[in-house]
C-alpha cells in the first residue's frame, strides 16, 4: 500500500484528531508498516486497549482520546500478542509424535474439555476439483496431503436422510432450550399416534379415560410410568398409566394399573408367553375401573410390529438389475481399551478391510470417547479432531484409495468429543471431521438409510442394555399371536424381544425417562424425540436390518421380518459382517442376506 493511501486511510479510520497531528499520524503509519497491520486493525486494537470499565463518564471520555501515550499502550499490546503467538508456535513444534500411532502423554495433564474441537475453525478443506456427475454416481477428484484420490463410480446405491438445508438445520437444533409445554405436547402426540395405530389394527371405535369408573370393560391407551419419584426399578405394584390430555377427561391424570390373574396378551409374539413392560412404553389395555382407585386390566393389546407399507425408490436410485450384491463390515466404538490410547483393535480392523475391500463400511461412535480415562485425565497432546484425523481419517482414506468404489458411513455418538452436538437425537458430524471427503457419508444418530433397496436402521446408543435394566416381564395367555416368519424367532429369546420392543414402539429409544444411573449415556432431548422414530423419512416400514451395538452379548437375530445385529464394540475385538447375494425372483431377503459376528485375528 502506498504511503499516501495509508495516511488517507488512517485519517478516515482514526478521525480528525489524528489527521491534524502530523507527528501522531507518522507514528501510526510506522506501527502499521512494522507490524503488518491495516489502519482498520489499528483502530480496533486501539479501541480494545483503551476501553475503560469505569462508570465515570469524564474518565471514559478522557481514555477514548487518541494521544501519543495511548498509542504507546497499543504498541505494547501488539508486541505482547506477537510474543504469545510466537511462544504458542514454538510449543506446537515441540509436540511429540510417535510413529507407532500411540498418543503420547502430556504430563501437564491439560483438561480434556479444553481440547474439544480446538482450532477447528482454522482448518482449511482440501481443494476439490469436481467432475460433472452422471445420473446416479458422483465422481470427484481431490488433491491433498495424501495424494490423488478418486471416488466412484460407487459399487452400491446409497440413500441417506434428506440432505437439504432445512433438514440439516432441523437435525442440528439448539438444545437446552426446551419449554415444559413443548415437552408435554410431544409426549402427548406420541400417545395419540400410537393410539391411532392400535385403532386401525384392532378396529377399536374409541378409547376411554382409565380414571373414569365404568361397569363394563373399555379400551384405554397410555404411557407406562413409575409412580415413585425415585430411581427404583419398575415393578407391577408401582406401574402406573398416563394418557394424553386430549384423550383424557382429567388432563392426563395418572392411575395405577393392576393386572387380572387371567391376563390375556393379544397380538404378541408367538411363544413369548408374556410381554416386557418398561417406563415410556405405549400400551393399549382392556379392562375397567371399578372405583378402587386403580384400573384392572384383563387384556394387553400389542401394537403390530410388521411392515405396514412397501418402501419405494425413485427410478434413478434403483440398483443395477445385473448385480445388486454387496458386502458390509460393521464396527462400533469404543475403538481402544480403557487402559491405553493405542487403538490397536482399530488398526487391525483397518488393515483387514484394506485386504478384503468390502463395498460398505459402517462405523459407529464413540471414536474419541469422552469417557476414556486417559482422555478425561487430559493425557493427550493433540486436539480431539487432530487425534481423529490421524487415527481414523487417514486409514479410512487409505482404504478408499485402495477400493475406490467403496463407501464409508460414519454415525456419531453422544460420547464423541469430535461432535458439536452432545444430545440425542444427534445430528451428523461436521464436514470438518472428514475434511469434506465425498467418499465418506455422514449420517445422524439414530438414522435410517438404504443400500441397494435394503433399509438399515442404526443407533450408537446402548438401548438394549437400558431396556434390559428397566423392563418387567408380565406373563399372560397368548391370544391371536403373531406367527414368526423365521424358525429361529421363537419368541422366548430375551434379546430378540428387546429388539421387538423397538419395532413395536416404532422408536430407536422408547424408554422414558432415561434410567437415572444411565442418564450420562443419553442426553435425551424430549422436544426433538420425533427424530427417534424408526420410520422417520422412510414411511411406516420396519427396517430390513437393525444395527444396535450394546455391551450385552453380541448377536445376529431375526425378529419377525427384521434382522437385528449387535456388533458389540471393537475394543473387545468384535465386529460384524453382512453379505448380500444378488436378487433372484422368489428369493426372500432373509435367504439372500448372511450375517456373522466375528473376532479380529490376534
pLDDT one-digit tens code per residue, 282-305: 999 999 998 888 999 999 999 765
Q: Which of 502, 590, 492 is CA-nearest to residue 546? A: 502
Q: In the prediction, which pLDDT does 229 show?
A: 61
Tell me, letter by letter, the H, E, C secondary structure of 79-90.
HHHHHHHHHHHH
Closest CA relative to residue 114, chosen from 318, 381, 359 = 381
Bridge pairing between strands 239-242 and 255-266:
antiparallel
Counted residue by residue, the chain has a size of 602
| pLDDT in the model for residue 565 | 97
Cα angle 50, 53, 54; round to 5: 110
Sheet-wide strand order for 158-159: 158-159, 447-451, 454-458, 545-547, 562-566, 555-559
- Is 77's pLDDT higher than 70? yes
C-alpha closest to that of 252 among 211, 295, 200, 205: 211
Interior CA angle at 461 toward 457 and 466, to 5°?
Answer: 110
Q: CB count, 10 Å around CB of 3?
A: 9
Looking up cell 480496533, which residue turns up? Answer: 44
Helix ranges, 445-493 (H): 463-470
The pLDDT, as a whole number, for residue 322 is 64
- The stretch 14-19 carries a mean pLDDT of 77
Q: Look at residue 128 in the predicted model and tell me its pLDDT.
A: 38
- CA–CA gap between residue 560 and residue 588 (Å, rounded): 13
Radius of gyration of the chain (CA): 30
Which 3 state secondary structure label does DSSP give 276? strand
Strands (E), 104-254: 128-130, 140-144, 147-151, 158-159, 218-226, 239-242
Q: How crowded is residue 140: how many other Cβ atoms within 10 Å of its Cβ?
A: 17
Nearest CA among 360, 331, 362 for reference residue 347: 331
pLDDT at 202: 92
Least confident of 100-114, 271-285, 381-395, 543-557: 100-114
The grid cell for 319 is 440398483
Residue whose cell numbers read 469404543 = 334
Given a cut of 90, whether residue 325 has pLDDT beyond it is yes
Q: Per-residue pLDDT for 61 more than 60? A: no
Q: Do the Cβ atoms of 330 and 567 come closer than 8 Å?
A: yes
For residue 483, what pLDDT is reported? 85
Grid cell at residue 310: 412397501
Nearest partner of 447 among 417, 412, 416, judged by Cα = 412
Q: What is the pLDDT of residue 133?
A: 34
Check pLDDT > 50 for residue 331: yes
DSSP, collapsed to helix, strand or coil, labels residue 596 as strand
pLDDT at position 130 over 80: no
Instruction: Please check the confidence at residue 378 and state whether its pLDDT lies above 70.
Output: yes
Question: What is the band of 73 on the pLDDT scale with cuts at 50, 70, 90?
Answer: confident
Give the position of cell 477400493: 403
CA distances to 40, 253, 547 from 43, in Å = 5, 64, 57
- DSSP designation for 517: G
Burial annotation 437-448 (CB, 10 A radius, 16+ → b, else e):
bbbbbbbbbbbb
Res 2: pLDDT: 62
pLDDT tier at 111, thresholds 50, 70, 90: very low
At 20 the pLDDT is 80
Q: What is the pLDDT of residue 323?
A: 80
Could you tell me the pLDDT band of residue 441, with boundaries at 50, 70 and 90? very high
Contact in structure between 273 and 490 (CB atoms under 8 Å): no
Query: String of b and e for 44-67 (b: at least 16 CB within 10 Å)?
Result: ebbeebbeeeeeeeeeeeeeeebe
58 SS3 class: helix
Model confidence at 472: pLDDT above 60: yes
The mean per-residue pLDDT over the stretch 461-466 comes to: 97
pLDDT one-digit tens code per residue, 145-203? 444 344 557 889 999 999 888 999 999 999 888 888 999 999 999 999 999 999 999 99
DSSP 8-state secondary structure symbol assigned to residue 67: -
Average pLDDT score over residue span 28-39: 83
- What is residue 388's three-state secondary structure? helix
**Arithmetic mean of pLDDT, 480-503:** 89
- Report d(CA 205, CA 548) in Å as an integer: 37
Q: Which of 37-51, 427-441, 467-481, 486-500 has the lowest mean pLDDT?
A: 37-51
Whether 138 has a pLDDT exceeding 50, the answer reads no
* Exposed/middle/buried for residue 523 (C-beta within 10 Å: 0-12, 13-18, 19+): middle
205-231 residue pLDDT tens: 899 999 999 889 999 999 999 876 666
What three-state secondary structure class fits 581?
Answer: coil
CA gap 547, 161 in Å, rounded: 16
* Mean pLDDT confidence for 344-357: 96
What would the mean pLDDT of 64-78 be, rounded to a whole number?
76
pLDDT at 304: 66
Are 410 and 393 in contact by the 8 Å Cβ rule? The answer is no
Q: Which residues contact 249 (CB under 8 A, 6 or more apart)?
A: 209, 211, 212
| Average pLDDT value for residue range 453-460 | 95
- CA dist., res. 351 & res. 262, Å (int): 58
Residue 125 has pLDDT above 70, yes or no: no
Are the C-beta atoms of 542 and 534 separated by less than 8 Å? yes
Distance CA(258)–CA(551), nearest Å, equals 34
pLDDT of residue 88: 56
pLDDT tens by residue, 542-600: 899 999 999 999 999 999 889 999 999 999 999 999 999 998 887 877 788 999 999 98
Burial class (CB in 10 A: 0-12, 13-18, 19+), 516: exposed
- pLDDT at res. 104: 39
pLDDT of residue 53: 41
CB crowding 553-571: b at 16 or more within 10 Å, else e: ebbbbbbbbbbbbbbbbbb
- Least confident piece of the model among 146-155, 341-350, 362-371, 502-511: 146-155
Kindly report the average pLDDT of the chain as a whole number.
Answer: 82
Q: What is the mean pLDDT of residues 26-46?
A: 83
Amino acid at each position: 500500500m502506498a504511503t499516501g493511501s495509508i495516511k488517507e486511510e488512517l485519517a478516515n479510520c482514526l478521525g480528525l484528531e489524528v489527521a491534524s497531528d502530523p507527528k501522531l499520524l507518522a507514528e501510526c503509519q510506522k506501527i502499521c508498516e512494522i507490524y503488518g497491520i491495516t489502519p482498520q486493525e489499528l483502530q480496533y486494537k486501539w479501541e480494545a486497549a483503551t476501553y475503560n470499565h469505569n462508570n465515570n463518564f469524564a474518565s471514559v471520555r478522557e481514555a477514548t482520546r487518541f494521544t501519543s501515550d495511548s498509542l504507546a499502550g497499543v504498541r505494547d499490546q501488539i508486541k505482547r500478542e506477537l510474543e504469545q503467538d510466537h511462544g504458542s508456535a514454538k510449543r506446537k513444534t515441540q509436540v511429540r509424535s510417535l510413529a507407532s500411532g500411540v498418543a503420547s502423554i502430556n504430563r501437564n495433564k491439560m483438561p480434556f474439555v479444553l481440547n474439544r474441537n480446538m482450532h477447528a475453525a482454522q482448518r482449511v478443506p482440501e481443494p476439490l476439483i469436481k467432475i460433472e456427475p452422471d445420473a446416479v454416481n458422483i465422481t470427484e477428484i481431490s488433491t491433498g496431503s495424501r495424494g490423488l484420490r478418486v471416488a466412484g463410480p460407487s459399487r452400491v446405491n446409497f440413500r441417506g436422510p434428506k440432505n437439504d438445508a432445512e433438514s440439516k438445520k432441523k437435525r442440528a437444533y439448539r438444545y437446552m432450550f426446551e419449554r415444559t409445554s413443548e415437552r408435554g405436547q410431544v409426549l402427548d402426540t406420541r400417545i395419540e399416534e400410537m393410539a391411532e395405530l392400535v385403532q386401525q389394527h384392532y378396529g377399536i371405535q374409541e378409547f376411554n379415560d382409565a380414571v373414569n369408573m365404568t361397569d363394563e370393560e373399555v379400551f384405554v391407551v397410555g404411557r407406562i410410568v413409575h409412580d415413585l419419584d425415585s430411581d427404583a426399578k419398575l415393578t407391577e405394584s408401582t406401574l402406573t398409566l398416563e394418557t394424553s390430555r386430549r384423550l383424557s377427561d382429567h388432563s392426563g391424570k395418572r392411575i395405577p394399573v393392576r393386572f387380572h390373574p387371567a391376563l390375556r396378551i393379544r397380538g404378541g409374539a408367538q411363544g413369548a408367553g408374556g410381554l416386557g413392560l418398561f417406563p415410556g412404553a405405549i400400551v393399549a389395555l382392556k379392562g375397567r375401573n371399578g372405583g378402587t382407585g386403580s384400573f384392572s386390566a384383563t387384556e394387553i393389546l400389542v401394537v403390530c410390529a410388521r411392515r405396514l407399507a412397501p418402501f419405494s425408490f425413485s427410478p434413478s436410485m434403483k440398483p443395477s438389475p445385473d448385480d445388486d450384491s454387496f458386502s458390509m463390515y460393521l464396527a462400533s466404538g469404543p475403538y481402544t481399551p480403557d487402559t491405553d490410547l493405542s487403538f490397536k483393535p482399530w488398526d487391525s480392523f483397518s488393515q483387514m478391510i484394506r485386504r478384503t475391500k468390502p463395498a460398505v463400511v459402517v462405523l459407529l461412535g464413540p471414536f474419541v470417547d469422552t469417557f476414556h480415562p486417559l482422555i478425561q485425565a487430559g493425557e493427550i497432546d493433540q486436539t480431539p479432531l487432530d487425534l481423529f484425523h490421524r487415527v481414523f481419517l487417514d486409514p479410512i482414506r487409505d482404504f478408499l484409495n485402495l477400493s475406490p468404489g467403496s463407501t464409508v458411513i460414519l454415525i456419531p455418538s453422544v460420547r464423541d468429543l469430535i461432535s458439536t452436538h452432545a444430545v440425542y437425537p444427534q445430528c451428523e458430524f461436521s464436514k470438518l471431521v472428514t475434511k469434506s471427503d465425498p467418499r465418506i457419508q455422514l449420517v445422524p444418530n439414530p438414522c435410517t438409510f438404504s443400500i441397494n433397496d435394503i433399509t438399515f436402521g442404526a443407533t450408537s446408543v446402548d438401548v438394549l442394555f437400558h431396556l434390559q435394566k428397566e423392563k418387567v416381564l408380565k406373563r399372560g395367555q397368548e391370544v391371536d399371536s403373531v406367527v414368526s416368519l423365521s424358525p429361529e424367532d421363537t419368541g422366548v429369546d430375551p434379546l430378540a424381544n428387546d429388539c421387538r420392543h423397538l419395532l413395536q414402539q416404532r422408536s430407536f429409544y422408547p424408554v422414558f425417562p432415561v434410567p437415572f444411573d444411565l442418564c450420562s449415556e443419553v442426553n435425551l432431548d424430549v422436544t426433538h424425540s420425533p427424530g427417534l422414530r424408526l420410520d422417520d423419512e422412510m414411511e411406516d416400514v420396519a427396517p430390513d436390518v437393525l444395527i444396535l451395538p450394546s455391551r450385552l452379548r453380541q448377536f445376529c437375530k431375526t425378529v419377525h421380518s427384521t434382522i437385528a445385529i449387535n456388533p458389540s464394540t471393537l475394543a473387545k475385538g468384535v465386529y460384524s459382517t453382512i453379505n448380500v447375494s444378488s436378487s433372484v425372483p422368489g428369493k426372500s431377503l432373509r435367504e439372500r442376506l448372511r450375517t456373522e459376528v466375528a473376532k479380529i485375528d490376534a
